[in-house]
């Protein structure tokens, strides 16, 4: 082992440590600041207290915004999964000229459609539909934005469902609906779970859409409310914000763990290959 090798190794690990630290500090802050008597913007060993938690629970809008977030994101996740499942099944099974072009076109445009660039027309459209200041409207816009990519991802899962499963069910007299319900969707379940979590997480963290489309503070989701968590003087409310941040991150983590433990496996053995 040459000296140069040792130096390179040491340098490499120092670099890794620096990068890890860079990402770890905000995490440590989220873990420690909520329970600190004097929360600041630095990371230090907390002076344990639950006072911040009590303050947050008493905050007039904090808990309510979580409910709003859940409402919007569950609606979005369910709608995205349901529509994407139907669309991807159709796109996967129906022979149609220009199908691939359509899919790629959708994927390409989708990033434009929900992107910042399209917010003005979307705002005007929602205004004319009377869906401004509606949580349903927000879920609708986010569904539209996530759907193309969801269809694109889910189509791969549906493509992977062997055709002989469906043909087998068809020979036994199952209708298209029965085939979809009894065979295709259960077999593509890991894909559906993936899409649902992905849609939930994406809409959970979405700031721009609810920020523009929702007026009243009691309808705002957590992602928007967080930036309004200030005290009377206008500076950041460091008693509520850390606890709120912690709470805000919990659903995503829980959802991920739940789905991973339930659907984080793949089926084997129905097809002998």
Partner 1 sequence: MAGIDIEGLATVYPNGVRAVDGLDLHVADGEFFALLGPSGCGKTTLLRTIAGLESATEGKVRIDAADVTRTEPGKRGVAMVFQDYALFPHMSVSENITYPLKVRRVSAATRAETAERTAGELSLDGLLERKPAQLSGGQQQRVALARAIASRGKVLLLDEPLSNLDARLRLEARTFLKKLQRDLGITTVFVTHDQAEALALADRIAVMESGKLRQLGSPREVFARPANTFVANFIGSTPMNLLPGTVSSTSGSDTYVDEVGVVSVAGGSLSAATFSAPAGAEVTVGVRPEYLTLASGDVSGPSLRGQVVVAENLGTQSLVSVDCDGTLIGVTVPEENEPEPGTTVVLTAPASRVLLYDRESGELLARQPATVA
Contact residues for partner 1 (CB under 8 A)?
Answer: 162, 164-165, 167-174, 178, 182-183, 186-187, 189, 267-273
Structure tokens, 20:
């890890």
Q: How far is the CB of 263 from partner 1 (least distance, A)?
A: 11
Place of tokens 């569904």: 143
Which residue in the block uniquely carries the two structure tokens 């189509």? 155
Query: In terms of CB distance, is 178 or 228 closer to partner 1?
Result: 178
| Other C-beta atoms lying within 10 Å of the C-beta of residue 75 | 18
User: Shortest gap between Cβ of 158 and partner 1 (angstroms)?
Assistant: 15
- The span from the CA of 148 to the CA of 159, in Å, is 16
| Nearer to partner 1 (CB atom), residue 42 or residue 173 | 173
- Find the shortest distance in angstroms from Cβ 182 to partner 1: 7
Q: Cβ 53 to partner 1, closest distance in Å?
A: 42
Contact, 155 vs 91, CB < 8 A? yes
Of 13 and 267, CB closest to partner 1? 267
Question: How near is the Cβ of 171 to partner 1 at its closest, in Å?
Answer: 5
* 3-class DSSP state of 48: strand
Q: Tell me, what DSSP letter sits at residue 206? A: -
Cβ nearer to partner 1, comparing 156 with 231: 156
Which lies closer to partner 1 via its Cβ, residue 179 or residue 209?
179
What does R_g of the chain's alpha carbons equal in angstroms?
Answer: 24
Residue 36 backbone phi and psi in degrees, to 5: -100, 135
């Amino acid at each position: 082992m040459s000296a140069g090798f040792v130096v390179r190794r040491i340098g490499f690990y120092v670099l890794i440590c620096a990068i890890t630290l860079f990402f770890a500090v905000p995490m440590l802050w989220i873990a420690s600041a909520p329970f600190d008597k004097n929360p600041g913007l630095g990371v230090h060993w907390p002076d344990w207290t639950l006072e911040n938690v009590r303050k947050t629970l008493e905050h007039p809008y904090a808990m309510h915004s979580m409910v709003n977030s859940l409402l919007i994101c569950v609606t979005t996740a369910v709608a995205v999964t349901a529509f994407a499942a139907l669309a991807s099944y159709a796109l996967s099974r129906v022979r149609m000229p220009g199908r691939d072009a359509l899919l790629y076109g959708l994927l390409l445009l989708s990033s434009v459609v929900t992107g910042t660039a399209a917010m003005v027309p979307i705002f005007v459209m929602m205004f004319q539909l009377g869906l401004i200041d509606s949580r349903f409207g927000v879920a609708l816009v986010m569904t539209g934005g996530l759907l193309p990519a969801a269809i694109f991802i889910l189509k791969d899962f549906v493509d992977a469902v062997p055709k002989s499963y469906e043909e087998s069910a068809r020979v036994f007299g199952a209708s298209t609906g029965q085939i979809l319900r009894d065979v295709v969707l259960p077999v593509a379940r890991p894909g559906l779970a993936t899409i649902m979590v992905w849609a939930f997480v994406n809409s959970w963290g979405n700031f721009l859409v609810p920020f523009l489309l929702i007026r009243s503070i009691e309808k705002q989701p957590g992602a928007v409310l967080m930036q309004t968590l200030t005290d009377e003087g206008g500076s950041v409310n460091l008693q509520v914000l850390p606890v709120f941040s912690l709470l805000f991150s919990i659903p995503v983590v829980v959802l991920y763990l739940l789905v991973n433990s339930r659907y984080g496996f793949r089926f084997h053995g129905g097809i002998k290959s």
